[in-house]
Amino acid sequence: MASQWRVACVRIPRFPIGAVWHAHSGPTSPTAVQPSAPASTPAAVAPENPHWDTLPIALTEGKRQLLRAVTSAAAHQRVRIGTTVHEARARCAILTVLPWDEAIIARELARATAAFLSASPQVSPVPGAAGTWWIGATGFDELGGERLLALTLQQLARVWHPFARVGIADSCVAARAATWAAAAPVHEPRFVTAGGCAAYLATAPIALIPMPEELREALLALGLRTAGAFAALAAGDVEQRWGVDGLASWRLANGDDVRRPVLARTDVTRRVSTELPMSTATMEPVLFIVRGALGQLIQSLVHDGRAAAAIAITLTLDDGRGALTNAPAHTITREVRMSKPIARVAPLFERCRALLDEWTLTAPVCAVSVAITATAPMGAEQGDLLAAAWRDPAAADAAFERLRSTLGANSVVRPVARDEHRPDLEAAWAELYDVANGKRDNASRQRDCGAGRNHHSGGATIGLAGPTRFLEIPEAVTVETVRGAPRTMHWRGQHIAITRAAGPESISGDWWKAQYARIYWRCESDDLVRDFLLYRDSTGWRLQGWLD
């Protein structure tokens, strides 16, 4: 499979009502419902054995006896959640009212969870959403694949409701959203393609993204009604306005969900937070705290057999913004991701140091938080010290980080090709991590380098193939020509005779940013070991660089 793991979401509509109804209705049990041949609506169930969702039933709680859950039949009679029993019975005289019973619902949840264990060993009821489960869907390729798993889960869930829904995706949030998809047929499982969570959630209503109600109301007030509209906001703006909770919800809207379906226990949050006794405007105290936090976190990871794949550092700024506006404290979060999961403090600290070296503080720091946001199983590979074929990628990362900490940012680079017509712009130096992440042409991280390609621009091809070394700024030279071709060049006090000149080749373009028009010549000389490249433009002759 393309994804490292997959998760299924099972949603049984109005599950608490069914649990309480069967507990009060006597001998009838949920197992008596035949899940086969689902109908298009609950009313289509056989009248001799009507399903409880076809009856007007409501559950109440609290001293005011407000309705907390209603069946589909009751909703069709305009009975709404949050109304009183008297208001509901004024609209539906035959409404059956039962008390919300946590013990009965918990018992039925345990029964359903035990049933789903026969299909997958990873089963987790969703907190605060009775009737919804996250179930591990990874590793079923040899057992019939995801579709067979989904059909099995749906068959088990239809014991409680004939219209149970199943969705499978890379993330819990996308799998749950798939169970609310309105596409027909309603009884078919929904599958979100691997790597497609963000695209699938783009059109999902904002109500399907877990978040605080205050944040949801604020987004709706701003006209942001879909997860895609929320995900399109900048992460920094979201965190600045709504704090850590808003950033967590923003990540869910992007399909970045760290939750996993488990049975025994959930993975503990690996985070170390420290408040500084005095705010600091320098990074030295922050680095000291980060080093100690990494030591604690890595020790916990090694104990669980895990390795760190991503680390997030959150700095709380002491700019008085929260105190003046009664808003969350001003925090800034940056994240570093490793090319390979590591469970060693030294290389991880070097990555964090490189991140903090590029971090410009706009206010003093009063608190630091270090969290491991993504983990992976710790590799068990071992190698012989004398075996030349065995290499430790973490050691290479640590060496690169030492170079960055000594020489500064953008000191570990590699050449990449660029889609440019000018010879001096056909290649660039790119930060090593940018290349690994597939980024190209980042103006803040690249500078020109020499790696030319052949040009075909209507004139004669002068042949720029092979390694080149271009001057950072082309130097003005004096050139004597014979019938338009260069024959001698005066450069840095030297008189260089040109024995052969290939050309001319005219290159022009970039009228929308920095228009140029040049005539290139590739020249050879007995006075120089390598060929060199000359061009003439409106300002005169210039030496571009050297060619091997």
The rounded distance, in Å, linking the Cα atoms of 146 and 87 is 46
pLDDT the model gives residue 458: 41
Percent of the chain at pLDDT > 90 equals: 29
Q: Is residue 91 part of a domain?
A: yes
- Are 187 and 211 members of one domain? no
How crowded is the C-beta side of 300, counted as CA atoms within 13 Å? 15
The rounded distance, in Å, linking the Cα atoms of 457 and 474 is 21
Of 478 and 266, the one with more pLDDT: 478
- Are 182 and 207 members of one domain? no
Given a contact cutoff of 8 angstroms between Cβ atoms, the answer to whether 314 and 369 are in contact is yes
Lowest mean pLDDT among 359-363, 386-390, 506-510, 530-534: 386-390
For residue 455, is pLDDT > 50?
Answer: no
pLDDT confidence tier of residue 102, bands split at 50, 70 and 90: confident
The rounded distance, in Å, linking the Cα atoms of 423 and 452 is 6
Closest by CA to 523, choosing from 498, 548, 494, 488, is 498
pLDDT the model gives residue 357: 85
For residue 214, is pLDDT > 50?
Answer: yes
For residue 402, is pLDDT > 90?
Answer: no
Of the residues 171, 191, 211, the one at which a domain ends: 191
Neighbours of 33 (CB within 10 A): 18
For residue 308, is pLDDT > 50?
Answer: yes
Number of H helices, E strands in the chain: 15, 23
The rounded distance, in Å, linking the Cα atoms of 206 and 212 is 12
pLDDT the model gives residue 463: 57
Q: Is residue 98 part of a domain?
A: yes
Q: Which domain holds residue 210?
A: 202-253
**Each residue's pLDDT tens digit, 258-277:** 888 865 343 456 889 999 88
Q: Is the peptide bond before 162 cis (omega within 30 degrees of 0)?
A: no
- Are 64 and 146 members of one domain? yes
pLDDT average, residue stretch 281-301: 89
**Each residue's pLDDT tens digit, 423-434:** 777 777 777 665
Lowest mean pLDDT among 255-264, 313-322, 327-336, 402-411: 402-411
The rounded distance, in Å, linking the Cα atoms of 236 and 354 is 20
- Are 419 and 528 members of one domain? no
The rounded distance, in Å, linking the Cα atoms of 62 and 57 is 17
- Are 161 and 214 members of one domain? no
Q: Is residue 284 part of a domain?
A: yes
- Are 39 and 181 members of one domain? yes
At what angle are helices 235-253 and 213-221 packed, to 10 degrees? 110
Measure CA 288 to chain center.
29
Lowest mean pLDDT among 122-136, 415-429, 451-465: 451-465
pLDDT average, residue stretch 476-500: 91
pLDDT confidence tier of residue 394, bands split at 50, 70 and 90: low
- Are 298 and 372 members of one domain? yes
Of 547 and 457, the one with more pLDDT: 547
Closest by CA to 479, choosing from 526, 516, 532, is 532
pLDDT confidence tier of residue 15, bands split at 50, 70 and 90: very high
Residue 206: DSSP 8-state: G
Q: Rank 106-115, 226-235, 461-470 by mean pLDDT and report only the highest.
A: 226-235
For residue 121, is pLDDT > 50?
Answer: yes
**Each residue's pLDDT tens digit, 59-93:** 998 777 889 999 999 999 999 998 899 999 999 99
The rounded distance, in Å, linking the Cα atoms of 472 and 429 is 13
Three-class HEC string of 273-309 = EEEEEEEECCCHHHHHHHHHHHHHHHHHHHHHCEEEE
For residue 119, is pLDDT > 90?
Answer: no
Neighbours of 295 (CB within 10 A): 13
Q: Is residue 197 part of a domain?
A: no
Q: Rank 40-54, 221-235, 413-427 by mean pLDDT and report only the highest.
A: 221-235
pLDDT the model gives residue 58: 92
For residue 186, is pLDDT > 50?
Answer: yes
Mean per-residue pLDDT of the chain: 80
Q: Is residue 454 part of a domain?
A: no
pLDDT the model gives residue 249: 93
Q: Is residue 304 part of a domain?
A: yes
The rounded distance, in Å, linking the Cα atoms of 422 and 544 is 11
The rounded distance, in Å, linking the Cα atoms of 414 and 430 is 6
**Each residue's pLDDT tens digit, 326-351:** 566 788 888 888 777 888 888 888 88
pLDDT average, residue stretch 474-500: 91
pLDDT confidence tier of residue 422, bands split at 50, 70 and 90: confident
pLDDT the model gives residue 416: 80
- Are 187 and 206 members of one domain? no
CATH of the domain at 346: 3.30.1490.100
For residue 109, is pLDDT > 80?
Answer: yes
Query: For strand 132-136 and strand 531-537, is the pairing parallel, antiparallel, or unpaired?
Result: unpaired
- Are 53 and 184 members of one domain? yes
- Are 364 and 287 members of one domain? yes
Given a contact cutoff of 8 angstroms between Cβ atoms, the answer to whether 374 and 310 are in contact is yes
Residue 4: DSSP 8-state: S
Neighbours of 438 (CB within 10 A): 6
pLDDT the model gives residue 322: 54
pLDDT the model gives residue 45: 41
- Are 73 and 132 members of one domain? yes
- Are 145 and 53 members of one domain? yes
Q: Read off the tokens for 170.
A: 């890379």
For residue 97, is pLDDT > 80?
Answer: yes
pLDDT the model gives residue 73: 92
Q: Is residue 529 part of a domain?
A: yes
pLDDT the model gives residue 430: 77
CATH of the domain at 249: 1.10.150
Given a contact cutoff of 8 angstroms between Cβ atoms, the answer to whether 313 and 333 are in contact is yes
The rounded distance, in Å, linking the Cα atoms of 162 and 40 is 10
pLDDT average, residue stretch 404-432: 75
> Where on the phi/psi map is residue 533: left (φ > 0), alpha (ψ -120 to 50), or beta?
beta
Report the DSSP beta bridge partners of residue 482: 485
Total domain count, the chain: 5
The rounded distance, in Å, linking the Cα atoms of 363 and 279 is 9
Tell me phi and psi for residue 121, to 5 degrees: -75, -10
**Each residue's pLDDT tens digit, 27-52:** 444 443 333 333 333 434 444 568 88
Lowest mean pLDDT among 325-329, 385-389, 488-492, 541-545: 385-389
pLDDT confidence tier of residue 420, bands split at 50, 70 and 90: confident
Q: Is residue 307 part of a domain?
A: yes
Given a contact cutoff of 8 angstroms between Cβ atoms, the answer to whether 541 and 527 are in contact is no
Q: Rank 166-180, 333-347, 512-526 by mean pLDDT and report only the highest.
A: 166-180
